[in-house]
Amino acid sequence: MNKLTLWNTRAITNKEIEINYLIFKENPEVLALCETWLKDKDKFKIPNYQIVRKDRKNQIGGGLAFCIKNSIQYKEIKLNDNQESKFETQAIKIPFNNRWLNILLIYNPCNNISKEEIEPYANQLDEPKLIMGDLNAHHPFWEPNLNSKLTNKTGKNVFDFLTNNSEILLTPPGQITRIDPKTGKTSTIDLIKGSPNLSHLEITVGSHLNSDHLPIIVKNNNQNSHSNKERKWHFTKEGWTKYKKELNKFKVENTISLPTIANVLKEMGKKCFKFENNVTKTKPNKPWWNENCHKEKKQSF
C-alpha cells in the first residue's frame, strides 16, 4: 500500500465530481468512506475500483464503504457484530510489506461508546492493523487546544483504549479534520490508530470537498521497509540490571504524553542494550500464496 484515504462524505450520491477529483489528485489504492447514506437500491460505482459496502439498514444516514483499486488484492473480514452496537463497523485486509494489513473502519454517530465496546472489534484483527474513522471523540490528547471541560465520554474512553492496548494514535495532535458549517469551529474527530510498526505512516489532510469533514491522507513513506528485517535487541543480564536502575529514575507522573514515554524507554534501551548485527536482506512475500498453492506446485513437477 502506498496511499489510503479516509473521508466522511456526508452522502456520496451527490459527490461524483468530488470523488473523481480526490482520486485524480491523491490516487489512493484504498478509499475508506463514512456516512455514505446509501441504500440497497442505490447504485454506486467508481471506474477502476472495487466497492465493498455496508449500508445502514432501516434508518437514514450512516453507511460505510471501502473502494479498492482493481489492481489491489483484498479480503473482506467478517466481523462478529454486536447487535446492540452504538457504532458502525466494516473491515478488510490488503497486502502490505510481506503480510496482510487489517483495516477497521468505524463511524460513531455521536453516541457515547466505551472502551469495552471498541476492544472486541480491534481484537478480531490480526497485526498489523489500522483502526480509523469518524469517532466523534473529543480529548486533549489529539485536540491540544481543547478545553478539558469539553472532553466527552467517547473521547475519554478512546484515550483509555489507547493507554490500555498496544495500538498508538497516528493522527498528529491538533490536525483539523472537521469544520463546523455553521460556526466555522474546527475539531479533530476523524482519528487513525494503528499498530506501533505503522508509526512511519504519514497522516495529512486534503482539500475541502463539499463536506464538513476533510479527507485524511495516509501515505506509506517506508515502501522499501520489506527489504530489511527489523533490527532486534540483544538483551543481557547486565543490561537488564542497568535498565531497571535507569527506569527507577524516571518519573512517569511528570510526563504528559504516551509518545514521550515511549521515546524515553527507547533511549534507555539504547544505553543499556545493543542491536544484533545479523540484519539480512529478504524478498517480499506474496500474501495470496497459501498451502493450496504449494500443493499445486508440487503436483506440477
pLDDT digits (tens, 9 = 90+) for 75-125: 999 999 876 778 999 999 999 988 999 999 999 999 999 999 999 999 999
Neighbouring C-alpha atoms within 13 Å toward the C-beta of 83: 0
Q: Is residue 184 part of a domain?
A: yes
Instruction: Give the C-alpha distances (Å, rounded to integers) separating 75 from 227, 290, 291.
Output: 24, 14, 17
Per the rule left: phi > 0, alpha: psi between -120 and 50, beta: everything else, 64 is beta
Give 185-228 as a DSSP string.
-EE--EEEEE-GGGTT-EEEE----SSSB--EEEE-S-TTGGGB
**The three cell numbers locating residue 270:** 539504547
Q: Is residue 157 part of a domain?
A: yes
| DSSP code, position 281 | B
Q: Is residue 290 part of a domain?
A: no
Lowest mean pLDDT among 9-23, 60-74, 260-274: 260-274
Name the percent of the chain lying above pLDDT 70: 86
What pLDDT, on the 0 to 100 scale, is given for residue 276? 74
Looking at the predicted structure, is the pLDDT value of residue 213 above 80? yes
Are 141 and 266 members of one domain? no
> How distant is the alpha carbon of residue 256 from its chain centre?
23
CA-to-CA distance for 153 and 168, rounded, in angstroms? 19
Q: Is residue 270 part of a domain?
A: yes
* 43-47-49 Cα angle (round to 5): 90
Looking at the predicted structure, is the pLDDT value of residue 229 above 80? no
Are 66 and 197 members of one domain? yes
For the chain, the average pLDDT equals 87
Give the domain CATH number at 83. 3.60.10.10
Are 167 and 245 members of one domain? no
Lowest mean pLDDT among 126-140, 237-251, 271-285: 271-285
0.85 surpassed by pTM: no
Are 120 and 176 members of one domain? yes
Are 150 and 174 members of one domain? yes
Are 38 and 155 members of one domain? yes
Looking at the predicted structure, is the pLDDT value of residue 283 above 80? no
What pLDDT, on the 0 to 100 scale, is given for residue 295? 67
Are 204 and 252 members of one domain? no
Are 266 and 173 members of one domain? no
Domain count, the chain: 2
pLDDT average, residue stretch 142-150:
93
Name the percent of the chain lying above pLDDT 90: 67
More confident residue, 266 or 16: 16
134 neighbors 8 (Cβ within 8 angstroms): yes
Are 123 and 204 members of one domain? yes
Give me the domain span that covers residue 255: 233-275
Q: Is residue 288 part of a domain?
A: no
CA-to-CA distance for 122 and 10, rounded, in angstroms? 25
pLDDT digits (tens, 9 = 90+) for 157-207: 999 999 999 899 999 999 999 999 999 999 999 999 999 999 999 999 999
Are 216 and 271 members of one domain? no
Sign of CA dihedral 226, 72, 15, 42: negative
Neighbouring residues of 215: CB distance < 8 A, sequence distance ≥ 6: 5, 6, 7, 22, 26, 205, 206, 207, 209
pLDDT digits (tens, 9 = 90+) for 16-59: 999 999 999 999 999 999 999 999 999 999 999 999 999 998 88
CA-to-CA distance for 249 and 240, rounded, in angstroms? 14
Give 106-121 as a DSSP string.
EE--S----HHHHHHH
Q: Is residue 289 part of a domain?
A: no
Are 179 and 246 members of one domain? no
